[in-house]
C-alpha cells in the first residue's frame, strides 16, 4: 500500500493539472460511457436474440446488420418519450429513485479486475465495496415504487427490497470462503492467487480456480450465483416485476429514459454479479493451466492486458449467458418459496461452506485440491 | 483531497439538518440515507476503509430499508405532518446549546491531548491498510468482547424470530 501511495504520488506528477475530484469525475464518465452503457445496450439486444433462438424465432433483424443497432433505436425512442410523473405521485422521489439504481450498479465497475494491469481502482476492500455500493439498488427500487402512488408498484417495491435484503446474507457468506482462502479483500490479489499452472514453478500461495479449491467452494460458487440472480431480480426471482400479477411491478409507472435507467441498472448489476462469480471463483483473467506471463519469453504489457481482458470477458459473458438462458427455462417462484429457499435452504448451505472451508484450510494448511493432487506446495 | 472532504462534511450536515426539521417522515428517512453515505465518505478520509464499507452495507442496506419498510407499511404515516403547533424554542434551545458546549469542550480537550501528526505522517497513516489489523485484533486480543457481542446478537435474532412466529 505504501508502494501504491508512492505510485499515486508519481501519478500526481503526470496528472497533477487536475484536482482529485476532476479525475474522479472523468473516471466515472469513462465507466459509464465505455463499460456500463455499451454493455447495458448490447445486453438488451443479446437477450432478445437468445430468447428468439430458444423460441425458434429470428428476433430483432431490421436495424443494422442482424438487427444489432436495435438498442440504439430503442434508446432514441426512449429519449423522445414524455417525461411523465403520475398524478399524486411524489415528483422529487420519483426523479431521484432511478439514480440510486444506476449509481449503485455502475460504481461497482470501478473495482472489477479486468486484467492484472487494468483495474479501475484495486482498492483494499474491493469485495466489500462491491457489496456496499450494490445495496444502494434496494432503496432506489423501494423509493421509486412508493413515489409512483400505485398499488402494483408498491407491492413490487416491497417484494424487491425484502428479497434483496434477504439474499444479501447468502451472497456475503459465499464470498467469505474466498476471503478465507486468499486472506485478502483486494480483487487483484484474489484473482492473482488463482493462477496455478501445469508448467513452470508455482509459489505456495498459488491455487487453481477457487471453485476447485475444495469441495465446499464449489457449492459456494453456486450459492453466490443463485443469490446474485435473486439480488438482480432476474427470473426465476423476478417477483418484483412479475408481469402476470403486478403489471410490471416497481417500474409500472416509469416511462422513457427513467425506465431506461432502471433497465440499464439491472443489466449492469447482472454484469457485476457475473463478473464477481468469474473473478472470485472462476479464476478471473487466468487461462486454465497456463500463465501467459510465464511462457519463457516476455510479452508486452499491453498485449498481456488485452489477453487478460478477453479471457475475463469470455468468462463473465458465459455467466451472463447462463442468466439469460435461465430466463427462458425456469418458472417464477412464489413469495413464500422464495423466502423459504433463502432462509431454510441457501443460508445453512452457505454456513456449512464457510465452516468447511475454514476446517479445510486448517487441516490441509491452506493447500488446494489441485496442489494436493500435484503433490507440491 | 480536502475539497472533497469539505463537500462531504457539508453534505452530511445539511442532510442531517433536513432529517431533523423536515415535516414528512419519509423525506427525513431518505435524507438519513444521504447522511449515512456522507459519514461513510468521512470514514474513508480518516483511513477507515473497512468501516466505510460496513457503514454503507449496514446502515444504508439494512437500517434505512427497515425504516422505509416501517413507514410504508404503516397506514398514512407518511401523510402525517409532524409539526408542533406550540413553538417550543427556549428549553430545547438551551438544552441543545448546553450539550453542544460540553461536547465541544470534551472533544477539544481530547484533540489537544492527541499526538500531533505531520502531513506526511498523516498521509502514511491514512494509506496503511487496516482491515487485516482489525481482523487480527478482533479475533486476537479482543476475542472475548467480540464473542460476547455475537452471543448478544444471536439472542436478539432468536428473540425476533420467536416474536414473529405464527401462533
ipTM score above 0.85? no
| Closest alpha carbon to A224 in A346, A63, A112, A363 | A346
Residue A10 vs residues A5, A6, B80: alpha-carbon distances, Å = 9, 6, 56
User: Is there a domain that residue B160 lies in?
Assistant: yes
**What is the pLDDT, as a whole number, of residue A334?**
84
Q: Which residue has the higher pLDDT, A218 or A295?
A: A218
- Spatial neighbors of A190 by CB under 8 A, at least 6 apart, are A113, A126, A127, A178, A179, A182, A184, A210, A279, A280, A284
Q: Evaluate if residue A272 carries a pLDDT over 70.
A: yes
Strands A118-119 and A113-115: antiparallel
**Nearest Cβ partner of B57 from A1, A132, A142?**
A132
Asked if residue B3 and residue B60 are part of one domain, the reply reads yes
Q: Show which of B45, B64, B82 is a domain's final residue.
A: B82
Is A123 part of the contact surface with chain B (CB cutoff 8 Å)?
Answer: yes
* Burial category of B39 from C-beta neighbours within 10 Å (exposed 0-12, middle 13-18, buried 19 and up): buried
HEC secondary structure over B82-117: CCCCCCCCHHHHHHHHHHHHHHHHHHHHHHHHCCCC
User: Is there a domain that residue B121 lies in?
Assistant: no
Interface test with chain A among B30, B61, B121, by most A beta carbons within 10 Å: B61
Q: Which residues of B touch A2 (CB under 8 A)?
A: 124, 127-128
Distance from CA of A202 to the nearest CA of B (A): 25
| Closest alpha carbon to A266 in A327, A186, A191 | A327
| Closest alpha carbon to A219 in A30, A346, A333, A336 | A346
What average pLDDT does the structure give for chain A?
A: 83
- Spatial neighbors of B94 by CB under 8 A, at least 6 apart, are none
Mean pLDDT calculated for residue range B121-128? 74
Report pLDDT digits (tens) over A3-28.
444 444 445 555 566 666 677 777 77
Question: Domain map of chain A by residue range?
Answer: 22-374
Interface test with chain B among A125, A143, A147, A184, by most B beta carbons within 10 Å: A125
> Which chain A residue lies closest to B5 (C-alpha atoms)?
A21
Q: CA-based Rg of chain A, rounded to a whole angstrom?
A: 22
Residue A165 to residue B53: CA distance in whole angstroms:
16
Range of the domain at B27: 1-82
Residue A334 DSSP one-character state? P
Q: Which residues of B touch A162 (CB under 8 A)?
A: 69
Report pLDDT digits (tens) over A154-195.
888 888 888 888 888 899 999 999 998 888 888 888 888 888
Asked if residue B77 and residue B1 are part of one domain, the reply reads yes
**What is the pLDDT, as a whole number, of residue A206?**
79
CATH number at residue B43: 1.20.120.1200
pLDDT band at B86 (very low <50, low <70, confident <90, very high): low
Report pLDDT digits (tens) over B109-121.
888 887 777 777 7
Distance from CA of B127 to the nearest CA of A (A): 7
Mean pLDDT calculated for residue range B53-63? 88
Is A143 part of the contact surface with chain B (CB cutoff 8 Å)?
Answer: yes
pLDDT band at A1 (very low <50, low <70, confident <90, very high): very low
Residue A94 near residue A85 (C-beta atoms within 8 A): yes
Q: Evaluate if residue B99 carries a pLDDT over 90.
A: yes
**C-alpha cell belonging to residue A374:** 500435484
User: Is there a domain that residue B101 lies in?
Assistant: no
**C-alpha cell belonging to residue A34:** 465505455
| Closest alpha carbon to A343 in A165, A100, A157, A200 | A165
**What is the pLDDT, as a whole number, of residue A41?**
82
User: Is there a domain that residue B122 lies in?
Assistant: no
Q: Which residue has the higher pLDDT, A218 or A8?
A: A218
Distance from CA of B24 to the nearest CA of A (A): 12
Amino acid at each position: 500500500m505504501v508502494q501504491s501511495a508512492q505510485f499515486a504520488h508519481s501519478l500526481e506528477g503526470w496528472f497533477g493539472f487536475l484536482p482529485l475530484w476532476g479525475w474522479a469525475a472523468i473516471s466515472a464518465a469513462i465507466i459509464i460511457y465505455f463499460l456500463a452503457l455499451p454493455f447495458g445496450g448490447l445486453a438488451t439486444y443479446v437477450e432478445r436474440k437468445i430468447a428468439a433462438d430458444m423460441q425458434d424465432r429470428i428476433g430483432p433483424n431490421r436495424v443494422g446488420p442482424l438487427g444489432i443497432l436495435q438498442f440504439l433505436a430503442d434508446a432514441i425512442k426512449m429519449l423522445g418519450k414524455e417525461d411523465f410523473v403520475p398524478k399524486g405521485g411524489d415528483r422529487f422521489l420519483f426523479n431521484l429513485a432511478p439514480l440510486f439504481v444506476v449509481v449503485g450498479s455502475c460504481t461497482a465497475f470501478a473495482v472489477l479486475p479486468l486484467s492484472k494491469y487494468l483495474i479501475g481502482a484495486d482498492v483494499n476492500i474491493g469485495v466489500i465495496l462491491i457489496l456496499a455500493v450494490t445495496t444502494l439498488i434496494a432503496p432506489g427500487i423501494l423509493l421509486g415504487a412508493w413515489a409512483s402512488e400505485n398499488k402494483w408498484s408498491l407491492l413490487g417495491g416491497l417484494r424487491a427490497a425484502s428479497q434483496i435484503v434477504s439474499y444479501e446474507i447468502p451472497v456475503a457468506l459465499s464470498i467469505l470462503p474466498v476471503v478465507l482462502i486468499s486472506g485478502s479483500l483486494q480483487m487483484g490479489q484474489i484473482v492473482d492467487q488463482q493462477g496455478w499452472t501445469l508448467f513452470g514453478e508455482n509459489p505456495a500461495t498459488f491455487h487453481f480456480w477457487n471453485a476447485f479449491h475444495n469441495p465446499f467452494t464449489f457449492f459456494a460458487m453456486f450459492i453466490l450465483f443463485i443469490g446474485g440472480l435473486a439480488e438482480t431480480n432476474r427470473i426465476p426471482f423476478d417477483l418484483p416485476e412479475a408481469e402476470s400479477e403486478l403489471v410490471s411491478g416497481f417500474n409500472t409507472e416509469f416511462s422513457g429514459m427513467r425506465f431506461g435507467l432502471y433497465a440499464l441498472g439491472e443489466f449492469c448489476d447482472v454484469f457485476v454479479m457475473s463478473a464477481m462469480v468469474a473473478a472470485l471463483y472462476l479464476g478471473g483473467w487466468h487461462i486454465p493451466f497456463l500463465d501467459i506471463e510465464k511462457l519463457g519469453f516476455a510479452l508486452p504489457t499491453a498485449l498481456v492486458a488485452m489477453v487478460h481482458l478477453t479471457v475475463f470477458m469470455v468468462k463473465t459473458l458465459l455467466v451472463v449467458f447462463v442468466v439469460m438462458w435461465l430466463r427462458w427455462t425456469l418458472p417464477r417462484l412464489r413469495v413464500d418459496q422464495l423466502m423459504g429457499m433463502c432462509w431454510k435452504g441457501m443460508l445453512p448451505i452457505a454456513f456449512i461452506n464457510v465452516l468447511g472451508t475454514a476446517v479445510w484450510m486448517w487441516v490441509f494448511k491452506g493447500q488446494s485440491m489441485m496442489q494436493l493432487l500435484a503433490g507440491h506446495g | 483531497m480536502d475539497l472533497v472532504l469539505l463537500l462531504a462534511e457539508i453534505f452530511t450536515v445539511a442532510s442531517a439538518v433536513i432529517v431533523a426539521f423536515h415535516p414528512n417522515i419519509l423525506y427525513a428517512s431518505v435524507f438519513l440515507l444521504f447522511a449515512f453515505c456522507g459519514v461513510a465518505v468521512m470514514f474513508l478520509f480518516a483511513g477507515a476503509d473497512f468501516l466505510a464499507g460496513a457503514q454503507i452495507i449496514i446502515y444504508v442496506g439494512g437500517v434505512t430499508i427497515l425504516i422505509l419498510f416501517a413507514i410504508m407499511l404503516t397506514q398514512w404515516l407518511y401523510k402525517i405532518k409532524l409539526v408542533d403547533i406550540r413553538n417550543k424554542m427556549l428549553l430545547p434551545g438551551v438544552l441543545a446549546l448546553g450539550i453542544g458546549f460540553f461536547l465541544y469542550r470534551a472533544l477539544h480537550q481530547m484533540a489537544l491531548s492527541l499526538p500531533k501528526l505531520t502531513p506526511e505522517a498523516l498521509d502514511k497513516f491514512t494509506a496503511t491498510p487496516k482491515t487485516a489489523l482489525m481482523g487480527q485484533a478482533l479475533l486476537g486480543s479482543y476475542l472475548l468482547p467480540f464473542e460476547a457481542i455475537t452471543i448478544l446478537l444471536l439472542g436478539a435474532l432468536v428473540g425476533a424470530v420467536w416474536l414473529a412466529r405464527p401462533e
